[in-house]
Chain A
C-alpha cells in the first residue's frame, strides 16, 4: 500500500497530509472545514488530493470535535451518578474566584445540571474500605429513574474511588446491563488520582462528549470502508500519542487537545533527527499562539487541563502535552483606550471579517495588517495569491491608530505597526517564558522551532526578545500539525495516587506499584497494537514534606531511596534555583506511560510543495525602530536547494507562510530542507 495519511480537522481548515511511499514524497491539501458533516469533509479531502482510500493503509486523525462540544456545550444530555451527599461537587467546584475584583463573576455552568445529578447510598473511606456497600435494589431503582430522565449518557463518580475502584466498576457494569442504549463511563476508568472535583469533572466531560464521538467514529470507519479503506485508523491523543478507535470511543476526553499536539510531535522528531537537545516549539495561527518545550526529543505532559481556561472553565484530569497558549494571532486586534494605552489582542478579527487587508469588511487593524504595512508580507503572494491583500486599507487603519497616539502620516503608521508587533512579541515571549524561565530553564540554550501560518514571520523578533540564538523553520510550516501526526507513536498513560514519605521502604513499594501500572498499561495496549516493542516511561510526582505543589520527575525504578531523593533535588534546584537536601521528600503519585513505536514518515522525504516558482523582486521591509526600512532580498522557498545560504535582510516566501531574516542574521537550508537562521550579534 503506498499511502499513509494524516487528517487534521481544525477550526477553519481541514488539512490532509499523505506520504506516498512509492515515490517518497508528501502530498498536502487544505479545504474548508465542513461543520455540518466532518466525515464528508475528510472524504472530499482525499479526492481533492487524489489519494485513493483503497490505496491507503493508515489514517491518523486529529479532531477538534471534543473541545468544541465542551466549549459550545453541544454534548449529550447527561446524568451523573454519585455517592449520597455529593451531587453538588460538580457545581460548587473549588469555590474560588480567579478574577477577584469582578463583582459579577461566575464560573461556566456545569455540564450536568442539578436535576440530572443522582445520588446512591454507598460509601468508601479514605483507606479504600467499603463502609456501605451498593444495594442492587437501589441500583435498579436508579436505572429506572435515569431511564425516565431520557439521558443519552451517564457519568459515574464515587467519593474516594481513587482508593478503591471496584464499586464504580460494579455500578458501571450493572447500569450497562440495565441501560443498554446509554453511554456509561466511570471516573476510575479515566484517572486513579484523588481530588473529587477534578475526577468528577473528568468523567462528566467524558460522558458528555461520549455519544457524539462514539457515533462519529463509527460512521467515519464505515464511510472510509465504503470508499475502500481497509487499513488502520488511529486518533491523535492529547498526550502526543495515537489511540485506537476503540479506546477513543471509551475515553473521548483523551482527545481534548487532539489538534495542536501534532506540531509538538513533529518538532520533537526534527529535534531528535537534528540532534538538538532543547527546542521551543512555537505555533502561531490566526487567533492564538502556542508553545511547548521539547527536551531531548520529548515533550512534557501535564495531567490537569482546564477546558475553557482557568478563570471560568473546569479542569479535567487527562494527559495533555504541556502547551501554553496566548491570544496572539494574525487576526489579533490592536487598539488604543481612552487613556492612550495601546494593546494587542486577545480580541481577534478571526477569519470573518478578518484583518482589514483581507478586504472583507474588517476595520480594526490587526497583526497581519501591521506586517503588511511593514512590507513583511507580499500582497500579491498571500496564500499562493489566493487572497489579494489591500495595502491601502491596512495603511489607513494603522494611520488612524497611530494618530490616536500622536504619530502622524505613513511614517506614523510604520512606527505604530512596529509597536503593535513589539507588544505582540512581548505577549508571546511571556508564553515562552512560562515554559522556560519559570521552570528554571535558560532560553539561550534553546533553538526556536517555528511553524503555523505566522510563526516563521515572527520567529526573529521573538528570538531577539528571548536571546535565543538559532531558529528552525520546518518544511510545510502551514500543515505542520498534520505532518506531526504521521510521526506519532501509540501511547497510553496510567497514573495512581501514591502517598508516602521517601524512606528506605519506599523503593520496594514504588516498584510494586509501577509493576502493577505497567501490567495494566501493557494489557490495555495489547488490545490495540502489536506489543513486541512496547517501551515504558515512569514518573513520580514528588515534593518536600509540607509543600503542596508537586513536581513530576522521570524515575528509574531500580534506584534506591537516596537515588530518588537526588533525582528530586536536582530537578527542584534546576526549576527554582535552590533545594534543601536536608528536607524530607515525599511521593504523591506515580505515572507510567506505555509507548508502542509505529511506522514513521521518514523526515528526509519531506520534499516541498512543487508549484511553479513565482517571480519575486527585492523589496523594502521595515526591521524595527533601530534599523528601519531596508531593501531585502526575496526568495521562493521551493527554489532553494539544500545547502543554500545567504545573509539577511531577506524574506523567504512559500504557500501559507513567510519567513523573515533580519539584517545581520544568516540562514541556510539544512539536510531535512529546514530553514536554519542564526542570529547576528545585534540583539535589539
Chain B
C-alpha cells in the first residue's frame, strides 16, 4: 500500500466507500424510472460511474450489465483529459463521446460525463461523473454496414453543454441524425439529469469529509480491491491453460471463426492471451481493443473472482492482456462494429473454460452462448412501423453440486427481464402458442445443464423475420466429464405444411397462420452422467425436463 492510503482512518474510509456506491445506485434508480426507450428501462443498457481526476474508475452502480462493469466510462474521461486538458474541463461542461477509437463499441453506446469540481471557485478537479447509455438510434445501417462510416453519427469528445450553457447546435445535429429523435432526446434528458445530480452528490461527499480524506480514501479502496484480487489469484495453481471454442460465422459468410484463449496464472497476476483470436472480419461483429478485448477479458476475470467484490480500477490491476492489433476484438479504426458484442458470450465462456482443470469447483459447463436474435419487422395493417426484437433465453451450465440454471440471457447480459407475453400480444401481430422449457436441451452429466427456452408464435399479419443464432458448430460444452448441450435454431411451420429451418438470415417473409418456433440452446453438463443420482434422473423424467429416450441413451436409465 502507498503511504497516502494509510492516512485516512478505516471508519472514514468505510463511510466514503459506502457513499460512492450509494451515489451511483441512486442515479441508477433515477435513470431506470425516467428513461424513454426499452433499451434503458428493460435491458438496463447503461452504466453509471464515478471516475477520479486521473480517469480511474472508482465506483459503479451495482447490478449493471456485465459488459459495462469492465469500466465502460473511464476511457472516455481519459480521452477528454487528453483532448482538453484538465484545466479546460470546467464546472458545467457536459461532454459526449462514442469514439470508436476510444470505446470500440457500437456508436449507440454514448458516454456522457461532467467534471466534478469543488472549492470556492470550483478550482479543484476531483473527478468526473459519467453515464454510458445505449442511445436507441443514432442513424446508420447496421447490420449491413461494412465500415464504421455506415454505422451512424460519431461524437469524438464534444461538449453538449459548456459552463452551464446548452449547445443547441449539437442537440439539433443529434436529433437530425436519429430515426427516433423524440425518444432519444427524452433519454438524453434522463442521462443529463443523472450526470448533474451525481456530480452534485459527489461534490457534497468530498466536501463533507475534506478533499484530502476523500482522495486518500479513493486510493485506499482501489488498493484494497487490488489486494483482494491478488489474494484470489495467488490461491490458484500457477501455469498456462488453454481453451478452444468456435463461432459459426461473421454474419456475412459461413466461414467458421475458431477462438483460442490462453490464460496464464503467475504469482498474483493473471494474463489473458488473445493471440489466438481470428483476424478482423468483414461482418460488423468486430470490436475495439478496449470495448472488445479488454472488456471480455475483464468480464471473464470477474466471473472467476465472484460477485462480492466491487468492479473498480483496483480489482482489475492484476489482470494483464495480450492482444495483437486487427483481430476480432481489436479491430482497426474503421472496422464495422455495429454488432460488436455478438462474440462476447462465447469468448467470455472460453476464458472460464480455460480454468476447467484449475478451478473445477468454480467453473460451470458452457452456456448457450449466443444472442439468439429473432427480430420481426414490417409495416402493420394499421400502417404503423413494426420493429420488434425477441432475444433468446437459453440454458446455463451445471457446476459442482448443482444442475444448470436458466433460461437466462447470455453472460454478457445481467438483470435483463423477458417482456411479458400479455404485453407482447397486446402490441404485436402474433399469439404465443407455447412458452416452455425445451426438453432434453441441457447437457447430460452428474449435474445436468440448464434447459433452453422454446417459444412459438402464430403470426396474424404478414411480416419479415430476421434470425441470428450461433453455436451450431460448437454446441455449449460440458465440463469435467459432462456432455454437450443442444444448440438452438428457429423453424417456420408454414400453413402449407412446409417446415423451414432458419439459423442466420437477413429477411424471411412470414404470412398469417405461419408458426415460428424458436428453440434456444441449453447449458453443458458437469461430471460424468453415469454418476448422476437415479432419483434425480427419474425426477427429471416425471417433470419432463428429459425424455425417457434421453434417460436411456444419456444415463442408461430404464426405470
Contact = CB atoms under 8 A, between A and B. Distances in A.
A96 interface: yes
A88 B10 contact: no
Given A339-B228, A577-B197, A103 B364 contact: yes
A446 interface: no
B26 A92 contact: no
Contacts of A337: 228
Contact of B399 (A99, A104, A547): A104
B307 interface: yes
Report the interface size class on chain A. 35 or more
Contacts of B413: 97, 100
Contacts of A196: 420-422
B117 interface: no
B547 interface: no
Contacts, number: 199
Contacts of A159: 421-422, 432
A407 B13 CA distance: 15
Interface residues of B, number: 79
Interface stretch (A40-48, A271-279, A415-423, A477-485): A415-423
A548 B193 contact: no
B491 interface: no
B453 A339 contact: no
Contacts of A89: 421, 435
Contacts of A107: 405
A145 to B, nearest CB: 14
Nearest to A106: B405
Contacts of A228: none
A197 B424 CA distance: 13
B437 interface: yes
B422 to A, nearest CB: 4
Task: With a 10 A CB-CB cut-off, give which of B393, B426, B456 has the most chain A CB atoms.
Answer: B426
A339 B13 CA distance: 12
B146 to A, nearest CB: 32
B420 A103 contact: no
A426 interface: yes
A341 B224 contact: yes
Contacts of B164: none
A624 B407 CA distance: 50
Contact of B227 (A126, A339, A422, A433): A339
B14 interface: yes
B507 interface: no
A92 B409 CA distance: 12
A406 B183 CA distance: 54
Contact of A125 (B29, B431, B437): B431
A600 interface: no
A467 B63 CA distance: 29
Contacts of A338: 227-228, 231
Contacts of B434: 85-86
Contacts of A646: none
Task: With a 10 A CB-CB cut-off, give which of A92, A103, A437 has the most chain B CB atoms.
Answer: A103
B444 interface: no
A386 interface: no
A398 to B, nearest CB: 13
B15 A426 contact: yes
A309 interface: no
Nearest to A116: B543
Given A92-B407, A342-B11, A423-B18, A98 B433 contact: no
Contacts of B420: 194-197
Nearest to B420: A195
Given A95-B407, A98-B415, A100-B64, A113 B422 contact: no
Given A95-B408, A100-B414, A426-B18, 19 more contacts: A85-B435, A86-B434, A89-B421, A91-B437, A92-B437, A95-B453, A97-B414, A98-B414, A101-B305, A107-B405, A114-B544, A159-B432, A195-B423, A341-B14, A342-B10, A342-B11, A426-B19, A437-B26, A583-B186
List the 8 closest pairs (A to B, CB-CB), nearest first.
A100-B414, A419-B11, A101-B307, A85-B434, A94-B417, A106-B405, A114-B543, A548-B41
Interface of A: 85-89, 91-92, 94-107, 113-115, 123, 125-126, 131, 159-160, 162, 194-197, 337-343, 405-407, 415-416, 418-419, 422-423, 426-427, 430, 433-434, 437-438, 499, 544, 546-549, 551, 575-578, 580, 583, 625
Interface of B: 10-11, 13-15, 17-19, 22, 26, 29-30, 32-38, 41-42, 63-66, 69, 182-183, 186, 189, 193, 197, 224-225, 227-228, 231, 302-303, 305-307, 352, 362-364, 393, 399, 402, 405-409, 413-418, 420-423, 425-426, 431-437, 453, 456, 542-545
